[in-house]
Every structure is written in structure tokens, then in C-alpha cells.
């Protein structure tokens, strides 16, 4: 979710009208878009949550919060330009590099 919101997801607007009001035009990440890492571990939270269905907990939302900032900082460290709005696209990076004079 965090990578998707940082790199793909965008509500497009024009004069207050949403231009992509359905999921057909709203790009989200899929499992195929995610980095492959054999060190990634999935685990079950040992204590059930009293309000969750069948004791389920939402453990992923807090990790989503810093994702865009982490990816933005990685891009800055790699190429020296800071992208401050999401989604962070190739076009925005190239534009920033051209404005900086390093493209």
C-alpha cells in the first residue's frame, strides 16, 4: 500500500471534478509490482484483537505512513533531486533533473 501510494496512486482533478472516479482509471500497485525479497517474513500477531473479526489486527497501516518519504529520500540520495508530491513518477524526476541542470 505504501509503495503504491508513493509511486502510482493519484486522484486527478480538473476544476474540482475528479477525473478518475473509479478503479478502472485509478492505478494501484499489485503483488507483481513489489520488490522480490526472500528475507521478507509474514507473521501472525500472537494476541487476538478483541474488536477484530476472528481476532484479526490491522498491522500494516502504520508501516504505510512513512513509505512515500522513504522512497522520496532514496531518490534524493540517488540522484540529488527532491520530489515533494505523490505519486513520484519518472516524469517528475526527469523534470527536476532538467531544472537542476543534471539531466
Q: Which of 10, 61, 91, 99 is catalytic?
A: 61
Please give the Cα distance from 92 to 99 (Å, whole number).
Answer: 11
Helix (H, G, I), strand (E, B) or coil at 14: strand
Please give the Cα distance from 103 to 98 (Å, whole number).
Answer: 5
Has 61 been annotated as catalytic? yes
Residues with active-site annotation? 61
Amino acid at each position: 500500500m505504501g509503495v503504491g501510494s508513493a509511486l502510482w496512486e493519484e486522484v486527478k482533478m480538473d476544476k474540482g471534478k475528479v477525473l478518475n472516479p473509479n478503479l478502472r482509471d485509478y492505478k494501484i500497485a499489485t503483488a507483481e509490482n513489489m520488490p522480490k525479497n526472500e528475507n521478507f517474513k509474514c507473521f501472525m500477531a500472537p494476541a487476538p484483537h478483541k474488536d477484530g473479526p476472528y481476532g484479526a489486527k490491522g498491522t500494516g497501516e502504520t508501516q504505510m505512513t512513512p513509505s512515500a518519504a522513504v522512497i522520496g529520500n532514496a531518490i534524493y540520495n540517488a540522484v540529488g533531486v527532491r520530489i515533494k508530491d505523490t505519486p513520484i513518477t519518472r516524469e517528475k524526476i526527469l523534470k527536476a533533473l532538467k531544472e537542476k541542470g543534471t539531466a
